[in-house]
Amino acid sequence: MKARLTLISLLFLLLVLTACTSSGSGSDSENENQLSIDAKDIKGKRVRLADDQPSLVYFMSASCPTCKDGEIMLNDVSRLYPEVQIITVDLDPYMDTVEGLAKFQKKFGGDWSHILDNEDRTITHEFGVKQLEETVLVDQNYKEVFRAVNPSLIEVQEALAKILVE
């Protein structure tokens, strides 16, 4: 019992020391906290975050009945802000299919890229998404500048206004 407590204490100390040294001053690299996407959409086109315009990424599931509202809102964003890249990511590769996402896009979405995340949910994890209908705005430097669950068009417009000012 005493040996087990000693081992647990040593592991805890090691964990604390590792955390203290890895959090550092934040000057490790320019790429720290930069978000990325490198995937193929449902049409087979390679999709990456744009480096010359902001990107609005919407996480949803084609089988989610309320996710259509976010997609409909994105139609308005697409019409009002053609300079913003829009990407829809279906985060449920176990429940949804490429065909189901294509039907969803045809019924509710626009002509922007729709991606079915892979079984490892690479994009979902990269963006730290915890639930359906999360929308993330990424600036030209690949930094997150806005995040909300099921945001209104007004909320998205306010976030875009902050980064589209020249």
According to the model, what pLDDT value does residue 51 have? Answer: 84
As a whole-number percent, the residues of the chain with pLDDT over 70 amount to: 79
pTM for the model: 0.79
DSSP state of 61: -
Q: What is the pLDDT of residues 59-90, one digit of tens each?
A: 999 999 999 999 999 999 999 999 999 999 99
DSSP state of 24: -
Distance CA 153, CA 135 (A): 11
CATH fold group of domain 36-164: Glutaredoxin (3.40.30)
According to the model, what pLDDT value does residue 34 have? Answer: 82
According to the model, what pLDDT value does residue 36 have? Answer: 87
Sign of CA dihedral 100, 104, 107, 113: negative
Structural domain boundaries of the chain? 36-164
According to the model, what pLDDT value does residue 32 have? Answer: 54
- Provide the Cα torsion 44, 48, 50, 51; round to 10°: -140
Listed as ranges, residues in the chain with pLDDT below 70 are: 1-33, 165-166
Going from the C-alpha of 123 to that of each of 55, 89, 146, 149, the distances in angstroms are 14, 8, 17, 17
Distance CA 46, CA 158 (A): 30
According to the model, what pLDDT value does residue 3 have? Answer: 52
Mean pLDDT of the chain: 83
